[in-house]
Chains A and B, each alone.
Chain A
Amino acid sequence: DAGVIQSPRHEVTEMGQEVTLRCKPISGHDYLFWYRQTMMRGLELLIYFNNNVPIDDSGMPEDRFSAKMPNASFSTLKIQPSEPRDSAVYFCASSSSGLQSSYEQYFGPGTRLTVT
């Protein structure tokens, strides 16, 4: 398997612009997580899905952030409008709750977002 795939790997945008980050989880995984990593706040869970349904979005910082999972193989995290304080590395991760699962979360390579 190719692992969790994220795109783009780097994104530079101007304040006020819309940003869309994309994630393809590992095939067969039923959980998908979006994290944000900054030096100040470390790794923060933003939202997670189970079987394409959002379960907990309590970590989403504000209404400017939204996430969708239209099918089992694709998810997006959108920021509209973006602000400089949104600059961070955004990770997508997936895991499986199957009987043989270890519940390990597999992280993608991340998207480094810079908002100027």
Chain B
Amino acid sequence: QQQVKQSPQSLIVQKGGISIINCAYENTAFDYFPWYQQFPGKGPALLIAIRPDVSEKKEGRFTISFNKSAKQFSLHIMDSQPGDSATYFCAASPSNFGNEKLTFGTGTRLTIIP
């Protein structure tokens, strides 16, 4: 299975700061890149997603930056809040499969401290 490499494994950010999580992929056929957020005891939930026809997508405090040539994408959380403390997963899927063949990164446990 094609890999999606995610870093860091864990991240501690002060309230109000910027949280940055990075992912890199190998398969050039990937063209759908979602980020999922998971709270303890819950299933993952879609947070934001991007396709490679744009280099950035912003939804509220959450921004995906995408670098097609480097095969990298990242999640930025601006003005991080304690309620953002969760595990974040990047994922990728080839275009001809829609989102059926999602390959997930290994996850980043984010903790926002007061």
Contact with A along B40-69 (1 / 0, CB 8 A): 011111100100000000000000000000
Chain B, 74-90, CB within 8 A of any chain A CB: 89
Which of A12-20, A67-75, A79-87, A99-107 is the contact stretch?
A99-107
Determine the chain A residues whose CB is within 8 A of the CB of B1 once the complex forms.
59
User: Closest B-chain residue to A92, C-beta based?
Assistant: B43
User: Closest A-chain residue to B34, C-beta based?
Assistant: A104
Q: How many A-B residue pairs have CB under 8 A?
A: 48
B43 touches A109 (CB 8 A): yes
Indicate whether A31 reaches chain B with its CB closer than 8 angstroms. Answer: yes
User: Closest B-chain residue to A45, C-beta based?
Assistant: B102
Indicate whether A93 reaches chain B with its CB closer than 8 angstroms. Answer: yes
Indicate whether B106 reaches chain A with its CB closer than 8 angstroms. Answer: yes
B44 touches A43 (CB 8 A): yes
CB distance from B50 to the nearest CB of A (A): 12
Tell me whether A43 and B100 are in contact in the complex, defined as CB-CB below 8 angstroms, given that A105-B46, A109-B41 are known contacts.
no
